[in-house]
Structure 1
Amino acid sequence: MTARVFIDGEAGTTGLQIRERLEARDDIELLSIDPSLRKDLKARAELLNAADIAILCLPDAAAKESVSLIKNGTTRVIDASSAYRIDEDWVYGFAEISAAQAQNIAQARFVSNPGCYPQGVIATLRPLFENLLIPADFPITVNAISGYSGGGRTMIEAYEAAAGKANAYMPYALGFNHKHLPEMQKYSGLQTAPLFQPAVGNYAQGMVTAVPLQLSQLSNAPSGAELHAALESHYAGRDGFVEVAPLEAIEKREEIDPQVFNGTNTMRLHVFANDARQQAVLFAVYDNLGKGASGAAIQNLNLMLGIDQTKSLQRG
């Protein structure tokens, strides 16, 4: 059976990548809107209600508008905006977050695609809280860097125009009120939001999140091996794309490069620790436009269609 899919906002970076991945599939009929009618509510409503699954690649307000235009009880939705990520009526679209989440997504009508930064933070922290290695009230800091594609068309054009003269490392969100904070807090299991300090690099796509842990603040500090074992156990046997690198006592690792998994849906987690100093850092490396955006949407689409969740997706 062919599924009718409408990408509302297909002209944006995420929408274009989703369309590119789906165009060759014979199990999907892509519904397209005349470019001149992209802002026409009637035309969008017709396609939204004709689709089996609508994928929304829009700003938050426009995504909410699209949902309001769906008047039937059958169109299913994957929303790539942040409009519904902590909404209890929507299923969070990070399939590897728990043993049951892939099935929850498969059965859902409304799925909220995760944000790019939160996925790495959630992937590294949630298993530690679930295994009681770190208390939920532990103060958490997140440092991260992403390619400029995460900033949308305006930022992409600015960086490409500047070429080699663009800032190689541009910290932002220095008011510490980033829109991803509620999502990070809820799905990691934190009682309070982390201190989140992201940056943009002078490269197109790819991402690293880093979570440093001052374990000496704990009366019963976990070892690096215990942190690593919790991650390995959490993701063992899952059919998704999150993998855990071996625990090694090394000073540097070249593959902690934000661009190493570009074009794939792989997310690799690393644990580095000094037990004597009771310190550790957790890294997640992945493509902000792959697992962080369009790849996650395709994975969720596959689950909702009841097929292999890895279809049309590459591993690193």
Structure 2
Amino acid sequence: MAHTVFIDGEAGTTGLQIRQRLEGRRDLDVVSIDPARRKDVDARSELLNGVDAVILCLPDEAAKEAVGMVTSNTVKVIDASTAFRTAPGWTYGFAEMDKAQRAAIAGSNRVSNPGCYPTGFIGLVRPLTAAGLLPRDFPVTVNAISGYSGGGKGLIAEFEAPATEGTNDAFRTYGLTLQHKHLGEMQVYGGFDHPPVFAPAVGRYAQGMIVEVPLQLWAVPGKPAPEDLRAALAAAYQGETFVEVASAEECAELQKARAGAGGYNASLDPEALNGGNRMRLFVFGNAERGQARLVAQLDNLGKGASGAAVQNLNIMLGLAEGEGL
């Protein structure tokens, strides 16, 4: 018998992609609310409590309201907002984060889907703090660029409108208040005592992202070599399907200047993994200078949103983890 799933907010960017990933599956039955009853509290409550699993693709306050309407003890809830990412009683939905996380997700009825930027950041640094290669109190910076789809319908409309009506920006930095909503989960699940300095940006392309953590290794206690970092990441994600660590040879090859390309690295295209649920991690280092650049490449709407939600749904329902991915 197929499991029933309700996507609350299925018309949004993440909701649409989740529904697309679930279409055609025989093990799931995706149910929708009658558009005429979308604002009917009783109708919505009935769906929220009458299915096996709910995926919330709503703004934070609306997500909190929806969770408050779930009175059933058996309904499994996945929330894609930032409302519950560090909240007590909620399990963080990054299955590869450590060896116990997948089992924690499987045993939970409340899972918070990670943010796209934190997925890249945590994927890069948590194995290093867990192994003691990076101290919990070490000051870290994360630089990142995402496609404009991560900003939701408003930003999508602005970037896709004619130039006379929208924007001509090729690149837009934001988060200049240093109070970005992702900082809490970055600190907690990255394993740090303090939030990182986070420098996010949006580029003139729809989907895909690069997340980078530069490190002054000479300032790190123990002065680890770049290869020590790469080896720790490789050990942490050994055997994983959706998180891959580039080999030392591939990283070295990418570091070489490409003839006729001015040394630019086309293989680190932020759009390279679009449409999937994969994340690739790279360590570029200069041992002589004692410096390294950790880089994550992923789809902000895939492993950074809808793909992760489907992966968590599969785990929570006891289905094959890679179904639909």
TM-score norm. by structure 1 comes to 0.96
User: Matches of 1:128 and 1:101 in 2, distance apart?
Assistant: 17
Equivalent in the alignment of 1:192 = 194
Equivalent in the alignment of 1:300 = 312
User: Matches of 2:145 and 2:210 in 1, distance apart?
Assistant: 6
Report whether the alignment pairs 1:117 with 2:117. Answer: yes
User: Matches of 1:218 and 1:303 in 2, distance apart?
Assistant: 37
Equivalent in the alignment of 1:77 = 77
Q: How does 1:120-131 map to 2 (within 5 A)?
A: 120-131=120-131
How many Å apart are 1:220 and its aligned residue? 2.0
Q: How does 1:101-250 map to 2 (within 5 A)?
A: 101-162=101-162, 166-238=168-240, 240-247=241-248, 248-249=251-252, 250=255
How many Å apart are 1:122 and its aligned residue? 0.2
Equivalent in the alignment of 1:8 = 8
* 8 Å Cα contact 2:277-2:303 kept in structure 1: yes
Equivalent in the alignment of 2:283 = 271
Q: Which runs of 5+ in 2 are unaligned?
A: 257-263
One-letter amino acid of the counterpart of residue 63, structure 1: A
User: Matches of 1:282 and 1:26 in 2, distance apart?
Assistant: 40
Equivalent in the alignment of 1:28 = 28
User: Matches of 1:162 and 1:268 in 2, distance apart?
Assistant: 34
SS in 2 for 1:96: coil
User: Matches of 1:192 and 1:224 in 2, distance apart?
Assistant: 23
How many Å apart are 1:253 and its aligned residue? 3.3
How many Å apart are 1:100 and its aligned residue? 1.4
**How many residues were matched structurally?**
312
SS in 2 for 1:120: helix
User: Structure 1 stretch 39-48 or stretch 244-253: which is displaced more?
Assistant: 244-253
Q: For residues 187-234 of structure 1, give each alpha carbon's deviation from its aligned partner in whole angstroms, at most 9, with x where no partner exists.
A: 000110000000000011001100000111134210011000000000
Equivalent in the alignment of 2:259 = none
User: Matches of 1:60 and 1:125 in 2, distance apart?
Assistant: 26
SS in 1 for 2:297: strand
Equivalent in the alignment of 1:94 = 94
How many Å apart are 1:38 and its aligned residue? 2.3
Q: Which runs of 5+ in 1 are unaligned?
A: none
TM-score norm. by structure 2 comes to 0.93
User: Matches of 2:91 and 2:162 in 1, distance apart?
Assistant: 40
One-letter amino acid of the counterpart of residue 230, structure 2: H
Q: For residues 230-250 of structure 1, give each alpha carbon's deviation from its aligned partner in whole angstroms, at most 9, with x where no partner exists.
A: 000000023x40000112332
How many Å apart are 1:165 and its aligned residue? 6.0
How many Å apart are 1:256 and its aligned residue? 1.0
One-letter amino acid of the counterpart of residue 273, structure 2: F
* 8 Å Cα contact 2:93-2:114 kept in structure 1: yes
Equivalent in the alignment of 1:309 = 321
One-letter amino acid of the counterpart of residue 322, structure 2: T
One-letter amino acid of the counterpart of residue 218, structure 1: V
How many Å apart are 1:309 and its aligned residue? 0.7
Q: For residues 228-287 of structure 1, give each alpha carbon's deviation from its aligned partner in whole angstroms, at most 9, with x where no partner exists.
A: 00000000023x400001123324532211100000001000000001100000000000
User: Matches of 1:200 and 1:40 in 2, distance apart?
Assistant: 37
Report whether the alignment pairs 1:261 with 2:305. Answer: no
One-letter amino acid of the counterpart of residue 275, structure 1: A
Indicate the percent of aligned positions where both proteins have the same amino acid: 56
User: Matches of 1:162 and 1:148 in 2, distance apart?
Assistant: 15
Aligned counterpart in structure 2 of residue 288 of structure 1, from 276, 289, 300: 300
User: Matches of 1:299 and 1:280 in 2, distance apart?
Assistant: 31
One-letter amino acid of the counterpart of residue 270, structure 2: P
Q: 1:48 to 1:165 in 2, by over 3 A?
A: closer
The CA RMSD over aligned residues, in Å, is 1.3
SS in 2 for 1:228: helix
